[in-house]
A and B are shown apart, each in its own frame.
Chain A
Amino acid sequence: KAGVTQTPRYLIKTRGQQVTLSCSPISGHRSVSWYQQTPGQGLQFLFEYFSETQRNKGNFPGRFSGRQFSNSRSEMNVSTLELGDSALYLCASRKGEGETQYFGPGTRLLVL
């Protein structure tokens, strides 16, 4: 069974631009979560989607948004990029409550 996939793997943007990252969960997994990883802040939870509904949201500004499609694929959008948004963005999926969460390889975003 294929793992969690994320596209693109690397991205370079400039301040003020917006970016969309994509995540395809493991087949049969209905939950997709997003995390931001930076050297200074570590791993921080962004949000989780389950069956196209946002279930939980971390402490991030409204510039960070997401959505989930009927096939469980998820996208994360960051508008008006700031230098501090440079990070590794990890997506993770799980089948349901109580199930193990599996991570994708991440998208490394660099904001110049």
Chain B
Amino acid sequence: AQTVTQSQPEMSVQEAETVTLSCTYDTSESDYYLFWYKQPPSRQMILVIRQEAYKQQNATENRFSVNFQKAAKSFSLKISDSQLGDAAMYFCAYRRIGNTGNQFYFGTGTSLTVIP
């Protein structure tokens, strides 16, 4: 079974600094998707970044980038130049590729605090 582990329940970062959130996953599949979602206090889940496992290049979206280590089954999120609006719960998620449905497996989340 697929599992996603986020070992940091809480993290904090100074505004304008950089922070890295960790995520590891367990799978026997060779092809899959990985995601980072952000859930602010409003509870709306927002996609931050997505990575296809077959792509060796790490995904980047503005201040957000990932370090995808397929062999180590690691998928960390780096937030550069942290802003107050980045404060939220961050979830790492895994999804298989294929015609088997859209089942996502989520980690338990990391609560990020941004200190002014």
What is the interface of chain A, defined by CB distance below 8 A to chain B?
Answer: 31, 33, 35, 42-45, 48, 50, 55-56, 58, 88, 90, 92, 94, 97-98, 100-106, 108
Contact = CB atoms under 8 A, between A and B. Distances in A.
Contacts of A56: 100-103
Contact of A105 (B44, B47, B97, B98): B44
Contacts, number: 55
15 contacts: A43-B91, A44-B106, A45-B104, A48-B101, A50-B101, A55-B101, A55-B102, A56-B100, A58-B103, A88-B43, A98-B97, A100-B50, A101-B104, A103-B37, A106-B44
At the interface, is chain A mostly helix, strand, loop or mixed? strand
Interface of B: 37, 42-47, 50, 91, 97-109
